Amino acid sequence: RGDSRDFDAEIASVCPFCGVGCQVSLKVKDGAVKKVEGINGPANEGRLCVKGRFGYDYIHHPHRLTTPLIRRADAPKGLNVDPSDPSTHFREATWEEALDAAAQGLARLRDAHGGQSVAGFGSAKCSNEEAYLFQKLIRQGFGHNNVDHCTRLCHASSVAALMENVGSGAVTATFNEIENADVAIVIGANPVENHPVAATFFKQFTRRGGKLIVMDPRGVGLRRYASHMLQFRPGADVPLLNSIMSVIVEEGLYDQAYIDRFTENWEHEKQHLAGFAPEAVADLTGIDAATVREVARVFAGAQAGMIFWGMGISQHIHGTDNSRCLISLALMTGNVGKPGAGLHPLRGQNNVQGASDAGLIPMFLPDYQSVTDDGVRSAFAGIWGDDAVSPEKGLTVTEILDAVHAGAIRGMYILGENPAMSDPDVEHARAALAGLDHLVVQDIFLTETANYADVILPAAAFYEKTGTVTNTNRQVQLGRRAVAPPGDAREDWAITVDLANRLGLGWHYAHPRDVFAEMKQGMKSLDNITWDRLEQEGAVTYPSLSPEDPGQPIVFAEGFPRAGGRARFTPASVIPPDEQPDAEYPFVLTTGRQLEHWHTGSMTRRSRVLDAVEPQANCSLHPATLRKLGVAPGGDVVLETRRGRITLMARSDRAVAPDMVFLPFAYVEAAANILTNPALDPYGKIPEFKFAAVRVSAA
Ligand code: SF4
């Protein structure tokens, strides 16, 4: 195992995987990270999960990109490049040559077809400074707002509902506040696998007698700790949540004083809920009325309650409505702005909160300031030294790929995202990438998306660079460089600066701290947070009220950042999933992550321990379903939807309902998104990854 004498250096940083934001100590020997241990960060208190503890060696994998690459003129585009030998399709280039080619290709399209012919996907795996520079490059360099990132695929609908009804897209309380709660709801989330260290705090809460209400169509790991487990029908979130709230109204369990002081539109919400008695919607939800009534009484009767949710809530065409219901439930019970209470969408990527805060969103400049607001644009014109920001909202991730198919977008700069794996109906996304006139990909591996690139820029991995990241708790933390990037790979911020200057932007940043200083000029959320403080303290939560304040774990005790200081009830009606099971496609497909693998697998499948634990594409079916199909556990099944077909190993899992299939999305050889439905939530523009009609058969 080794003790500190065995290492050349021990560097404090932050885990690069999930939004929990565990702080780590990186043990370095001979220029390589040899071991990772948890340290006492505010979110993890020394703990790590298996990904943080063992998932670091991908940074030393032989597939790392170490030199810039330019596509050979005759190389066909498609998923056809061996990542261990890209020379069949790409030739090595100098940085000068590759940056020139990257910038000239994008500039040519801008000059010939207008700036809106180029779009950018930034990354929630990069630092705040890198996200900020990326959105600035697209906005300033191309004069429009066609810049987005993977928040569109995870919590965009949650943010839409929070912005609309609370006035802020971030959590109202840290997850650690659960230690002051009496009751907590976890809905549409599987923290044991997706936010494992947060889950340890949830488990401890139940040991102290806290009541944990878990609601999910799949029997997720926390069910063993739950006082109530509601395994409701997929897609029935709105009727279930409305029925809980209808009981609270019917039995007068709401907090009238809080409602009067801090909210608006209550009477409308109350009337709307009258149609959702639990007896009336039990067939729709699959949950009996007595259980719903008991859950309503337990939640409304508590002194302090928290609500946590994940992508089971957000990834639906009614994802924004789902979040509206959760917000209403918290408001009517007065569960915002006090210890042990709050709304907490568990953020997925390590820096999806920070990347969103930094403006990597087509409708918002940094700090969620609308691009349509003249005052906001003029403030950024003052900071950036020009008035390049367009007043028109840009296109979102899936809309950008549709615009490529329509010929309106011809060039893209993609940094650290992998739409050739992560987008719904992924063959549509791959065809879009193949059809681009010019694609610049900046990444650490030759990802599936890089297969379609014209120029590939090799980037540093997270442990090879310095920058700030913001976790699900609003904690801004400092990631520190522990080792040098391999070969000629460079830090993302530096590559983006070089590209910007080749596009004529005249940027001058010598270090990420310069970028952070500029961000502070336009982002009030960073008030009182300085680079020096982060170096000394490691983490500061925003908002921080003074240079000494470590930050506020709970916000909105005195009202909301909306007109009149009031939060809003927005009633939600039942919208069925876009695609219903039928005789041809009788099962419900739902997708998600597994404990050991991260998103499109580019990192964790190149991590020795994690890949050894979960080496093979798999799906989960109920044992009775497998028996009916005549498939033994571990045998292969074929999954088919209206969009495609994959074959993979099936596991037996009683947690999955007999009419469902659970499908992890990390495996390129059986890519889940070949099957998923691209139908979008109209507000958050998030695809319905959590529901598609599927046929299952023995392979
Ligand atoms: Fe990393 Fe998340 Fe695991 Fe913490 S819980 S070690 S941040 S993956």
Query: pLDDT tens digits for 615-666?
Result: 999 999 999 999 999 999 999 999 999 999 999 999 999 999 999 999 999 9
Distance in Å, CA 53 to ligand 1 centroid: 8
Question: 47 CA distance to ligand 1 centroid (A)?
Answer: 9
Whose tokens are 């009996």? That residue is 288
Q: Residue 566's closest CA among 279, 301, 336, 371? A: 336
Chain-centroid distance of CA 664 in Å reads: 15
Q: What is the CA radius of gyration of the chain?
A: 24
pLDDT tens, residue by residue, 276-291: 999 999 999 999 999 9
Backbone φ and ψ for 344, nearest 5 degrees, come out as -140, 95
Amino acid present at 380: F
The H-or-E segment that residue 405 falls in is: helix 397-405
Instruction: Give the largest Cα separation in the chain, rounded.
Output: 71
Residue 16's nearest CA partner among 414, 459, 585 is 459
CB-based contact 158:326 (threshold 8 Å):
no
- Using most ligand atoms within 8 A of CB, pick from 13, 14, 17, 604 the residue to mutate for ligand 1: 17
Task: Identify whether the C-beta of residue 483 lies closer than 8 Å to the C-beta of residue 464.
Answer: yes
- Give the model's pLDDT for residue 3: 65
pLDDT for 153 equals 87
Residues of the chain with pLDDT below 70 are 1-4
Calculate how far, in angstroms, residue 197's C-alpha sits from the geometric centre of ligand 1.
6
Residues in the chain: 699
Q: What pTM was estimated for this model as a whole?
A: 0.96
**Measured between alpha carbons, how far apart are the two ends of the chain, in Å?**
44
Provide the 8-state DSSP code for 177. G
* Nearest atom within ligand 1 for CA of residue 20: 7
The Å distance, Cα 44 to ligand 1 centre, comes to: 8
Instruction: Give yes or no for a contact between 488 and 435, defined as CB atoms under 8 angstroms apart.
Output: no
Reported in sequence order, the residue ranges of 528-683 that DSSP labels E, i.e. its strands, are: 539-541, 567-568, 587-592, 618-621, 636-640, 645-652, 660-664, 677-680
Residue 16 CA, closest ligand 1 atom number: 1
The ligand 1 atom at the shortest distance from the C-alpha of residue 49 is: 3
- Ligand 1 centroid to residue 531 C-alpha, Å: 24
Alpha carbon distance 165, 81 (integer Å): 47
Of all protein residues, the one whose alpha carbon is nearest to atom 3 of ligand 1 is 49
Residue found under tokens 């020997």? 29
Write down the pLDDT at residue 2: 52
Residue whose CB lies within 8 A of the most ligand 1 atoms, among 13, 14, 18, for a mutation test:
18
Chain centroid to Cα 569, Å, comes to: 25
Q: Whose CA is nearest to atom 1 of ligand 1?
A: 52
Q: Are strands 636-640 and 455-458 parallel, antiparallel or unpaired?
A: unpaired
18 lines ligand 1 (CB under 6 A): yes
Residue whose Cα lies nearest atom 6 of ligand 1: it is: 52
Is the C-beta atom of 21 inside 6 A of ligand 1? yes
Assign 212 to helix, strand or coil.
Answer: strand
22 CB near ligand 1 (under 6 Å): yes
Q: Which of 351, 438, 502, 451 is nearest to 86 (CA)?
A: 451
**Nearest-atom index, ligand 1, CA of 38:** 6
Cα dihedral 107→108→113→115 (10° resolution): 0
State the burial class of residue 256 (Cβ atoms within 10 Å of its Cβ: 0-12, 13-18, 19+).
Answer: exposed
Per DSSP (E only), the strands in 195-252 are 211-215, 228-230
Residue 535's CB is within 10 A of a number of other CB atoms, namely 12
CB burial string 424-456: b at 16+ within 10 A, e below:
bbbebbbebbbbbbbbbbbbbbbbbbbbbbbbb
> How far, in whole angstroms, is CA 121 from its chain's centroid?
14
Expressed in angstroms and rounded, the spacing between residue 655 Cα and the centre of ligand 1 is: 24
8-state DSSP, 459? B
- Please identify, by atom number, the ligand 1 atom nearest to the C-alpha of residue 196: 5
Pocket test residue of 26, 36, 44, 48 for ligand 1, highest count of atoms within 8 A of CB: 48
Q: What are 389's two structure tokens?
A: 């920001």
38 lines ligand 1 (CB under 6 A): no
